[in-house]
Amino acid sequence: MRSYELTIPYGLILVLKMMIYCGLGFFILFLLFKLFGNQSATYGHLYFFLIFALIGFVGMLAAKRWRIYVKNEEITIRYSVKKERRLTFADIDYASMGLKHELSLFSNGKKMVTIDRLTVNREQFLEDLKERQIKISYQE
């Protein structure tokens, strides 16, 4: 009975958190400069750092939401923005390994998900695909 989940690497989440903290920190710093009459601080600085923090926040939400749960034969893919999808290993037609070692799963001729090489528990998932003799094609 194998049960595990594939997740985004924690290092990426830390980078996105740093984007939020730095963006908000510099936003507050330039806001204080602006409030105290410093002529070199412009609204462009404020907009830039607020948008920088917002990009980090949206990225972190998307990264925390994306997961693939594997429990025995069932695979549940939880996308960042789309509705989650359930399938079994038998539903997977084949897998494709890209040039950058990203793994794409295909079911009914459509690509279901792409799994990056840095994804946590990816090697365990690859072992499960090989155990079930699912064809993995390698691009050159």
Domain definitions of the chain by residue range: 8-65, 69-138
CATH number of 69-138: 2.30.29
- What contacts 24+ positions apart, CB below 8 Å, involve 82-85? 85/112
Q: Phi-psi bin for 113: left (phi > 0), alpha (psi -120 to 50), beta?
A: beta
Output the pLDDT for position 62.
Answer: 93
Query: Contact at 8 Å (CB) between 56 and 17?
Result: yes
**Contact call for residues 78 and 67 (beta carbons, < 8 A):** yes
The pLDDT score that the predictor gives to residue 39 is: 87
State the chain's maximal CA–CA distance in angstroms: 68
Closest CA to 45 of 58, 33, 63: 33
Closest CA to 62 of 114, 24, 12: 12
> In order along the chain (140 residues), what is the average pLDDT of each group of 10 residues?
88 96 97 92 95 97 93 92 91 93 92 93 92 88
DSSP letter for each residue of 7-74? E--HHHHHHHHHHHHHHHHHHHHHHHHHHTT-TT--HHHHHHHHHHHHHHHHHHHHHHH-EEEEETTE
pTM for this prediction: 0.80
What is the Cα gyration radius of the chain? 21
pLDDT for residue 52:
98
